Amino acid sequence: MPDHNPAARQPEAPVPERPDPAARRAVMALCGEARPEELRRALTQLGGTETVEDLRPPETGLVMTRGRIGGDGRPFNLGEATVTRAAVRLPGGETGFAYHLGRDRAKARLAATLDALWQHPGRRAAVEAALGPVAARRAEERAAQARRIAATRVNFFTMARGDD
């Protein structure tokens, strides 16, 4: 259990800045949707790769995907998905994690590095800006897809029947 009493903390422990979990999740989601070269570009833009230490070497495993009975009821196991994870530490002590669908280990490590960089409040905006092109590309793809799907939406006409 995490200790929430500040007085009980070790004096040398850094006071953790409580980042907005939604903002961190958004960055994580963006990294997951990014192509590896987009993450590489973002890292280069952020000043290249510092010495990044692997807390855990990138590893591929399985996550059992669950659905719900009827879509809204008790969970059931639908089937597994390959997932690759990585965990890194920066020289400044910030740790970053990545969990992505698929088997791309290099990409997971890049994403974990970006997550670690994002942990530093001073760099947060820069990391988000560096991922801006990914967000823009995805938004454009989503909008184009939505337009193609919208063209297949059915407009029903009710046929008038002769005598009524």
Q: Is 11 in the site for another protein (CB under 8 A)?
A: no
The gap from C-alpha 62 to its chain's centroid, in whole angstroms, comes to: 17
d(CA 25, CA 22): 5
Q: Contact, 89 vs 66, CB < 8 A?
A: no
* Residue 1 in the binding site for another protein (CB under 8 A): no
Does residue number 20 form part of the binding site for another protein (CB under 8 A)?
A: no
- Hey, how many other C-beta atoms are within 10 angstroms of the C-beta on 3? 8
**Nearest-angstrom CA–CA distance, 116 and 73:** 37
Q: Is 4 in the site for another protein (CB under 8 A)?
A: no
Nearer to another protein, 148 or 161 (CB): 148
Per CB under 8 A, 33 contacts another protein: yes
- Binding residues for another protein, total number by CB under 8 A: 52
CA separation for the pair 111, 118 (Å, rounded): 10
In the complex with another protein, the residue whose CB is nearer, 96 or 123, is 96
Residue 58 beta carbon to another protein: minimum distance, rounded to whole angstroms: 13
Q: Which of 81, 132, 131, 84 is nearest to 106 (CA)?
A: 84
Q: Which two tokens stand for residue 75?
A: 């969970």
Residue 5 or 77 having the CB closest to another protein? 77
Q: Count of CB atoms within 10 A of residue 126's CB?
A: 16
Binding positions for another protein, 59-98, rule CB under 8 A: 59-83, 85, 87, 97
In angstroms, what is the minimal distance from the CB of 47 to another protein? 26
**Token reading at 47:** 């000043």
35 touches another protein (CB under 8 A): no
Name the residues that contact another protein, by CB under 8 A.
Answer: 21, 25, 28-29, 32-33, 59-83, 85, 87, 97, 99-103, 142, 144-154, 156
